[in-house]
Amino acid sequence: MKVVPVAELKVGMYVDAVHQQKGDMKVKTQGRVANENAIAFLKSKGIVSLVIDLEKSDLSDELQQEGQVSAPEEQVKATRKVSVSLEDELTQASALYEEAKHIQKKLLHSIKAGLPVNFAPIKEVSDRFVASLDRNPNALLCMTHLREKDAYLLEHSLNVGILMGAFAQYLELDEDVVSELALAGTLHDIGKIEIPDNILLKPGKLTDDEMVIMKGHVIKGLEVLKKMDGVTERLFNVVAQHHERLDGTGYPMGLDEDDINIYGRMIAIVDAYDAMTADRCYKRGMPPNQALKIILKCTESELDRALVNKFIKYIGVHPVGSLVKLDSEKLSLVTEHNEDNPLSPKVKTFYSFRSNHFVAPKEVNLADKHCREKIASAVRAEDIKINYKKFFAEQIVVAK
């Protein structure tokens, strides 16, 4: 793979992805450049640079017609349709998430013990993540909010895999790319299993020496990946770049924006978001809206502004799976994001603060013109005196 400025783009080059652009126009992510008109079109739409696959490029005059990039048309993203109801998919997603934690735990144990690592089970889980996201992405997105403080490494890795897959689908990337990105997210932090707990779980600020050791988790993870059969170049590079930043302040290579591809830019955003919102044994996670504000601030130098804007548009002010309190004093689970009206998602009410009792779960579309209820505030599960995770498993997942 090579990043090529649009000024150096040639007919026959195989475009793997848009690397940098000034506008928000969405183009095909893959294919050969068919003619000079295609190049002129890309320039006119603010494309600055592209990721080129040199092995697939054909710089001869005889170009294959299949998969060509010909003056792409601007695309208006349609609302993604779901094939399965949230209630039905939650049953499968809940079981899948628990199974995934078990498989990921075995994988990390094998790595720490120096045992041979079986790549197949975690890849199968990742593929099933993508299949679930295809049917109804909101189910697994709900699961990413059911956290345990003592399971950060396990859950963070799975959550980044889910969020990467969901974000890639939102960007309408090719199916094989979505699968690779979901798997890369699941594996991005495997090197942390070799970081001593006194550093990995330290509640205070790390010393300079400790930070050097912590940053070493990326290289350690890449060394593990090199021993696995079936790891693609794209997957490897995503893991390698998840802590790189556009201004060159990231690690381990200190790459600048010209050398960080779109997938590395994506995982930098997703990884930071989940890390900031996660509870750990030594600190509480921050609310999603606060994390998104920090991420947006980072677009001044570290993160890709166009991708951050798209991520925020996808995740929403009140992300799917988060809890909110309505002005009727009812506690509700956000079940579906409303891209046209972010402050009025679909929710499921299940608890009354007025009576301090659970109520029968009820779907409410806050955007409905007849609905008089509004969100009063976001709520953290840790701040309410109920066993939300237990209730979610027993009532929300099985509710029909």
pLDDT one-digit tens code per residue, 127-186: 999 999 999 999 999 999 988 877 889 999 999 999 999 999 999 999 999 999 999 999
Look at residue 246 in the predicted model and tell me its pLDDT. Answer: 97
In the predicted structure, residue 74 carries a pLDDT above the cut 60: no
307 or 47: whose pLDDT is higher?
Answer: 307
Mean of per-residue pLDDT scores for the chain: 87
Classify residue 292: in a domain, yes or no.
yes
Look at residue 21 in the predicted model and tell me its pLDDT. Answer: 79
pLDDT category of residue 262 using cuts at 50, 70 and 90: very high
In the predicted structure, residue 229 carries a pLDDT above the cut 70: yes
Strand partners, 356: none
DSSP 207: P
- 232 and 374 share one domain: no
Look at residue 399 in the predicted model and tell me its pLDDT. Answer: 55
- 125 and 271 share one domain: yes
Last residue of a domain, one of 47, 62, 77: 62
Tell me which residue range forms the domain holding 174.
86-315
pLDDT category of residue 57 using cuts at 50, 70 and 90: low
In the predicted structure, residue 68 carries a pLDDT above the cut 50: no
Cα(51)–Cα(28) distance, rounded to whole angstroms?
A: 12
User: Tokens 């009063």 belong to which residue?
Assistant: 376
Averaged over 291-299, what is the pLDDT? 93
Cα(182)–Cα(128) distance, rounded to whole angstroms?
A: 10
Classify residue 219: in a domain, yes or no.
yes
For 262, list phi and psi in degrees, rounded to 5.
-60, -35
Per the CB < 8 A criterion, the answer to whether 159 and 153 are in contact is no
Classify residue 228: in a domain, yes or no.
yes
CA nearest to 19, candidates 216, 254, 260: 260
Last residue of a domain, one of 249, 283, 315: 315
Q: What is the pLDDT of residues 296-311, one digit of tens each?
A: 999 999 999 999 999 9
- 212 and 343 share one domain: no
Look at residue 95 in the predicted model and tell me its pLDDT. Answer: 95
pLDDT category of residue 350 using cuts at 50, 70 and 90: very high
- 134 and 263 share one domain: yes
Classify residue 74: in a domain, yes or no.
no
- 103 and 224 share one domain: yes
* Number of structural domains the chain divides into: 3
- 103 and 150 share one domain: yes
Classify residue 272: in a domain, yes or no.
yes
Strand partners, 209: none
Q: What is the pTM of this model?
A: 0.78
CA nearest to 89, candidates 135, 131, 145, 141: 135
Given the residues 26, 45, 123, 192, the one annotated as active site: 192
192 is known as an active-site residue:
yes
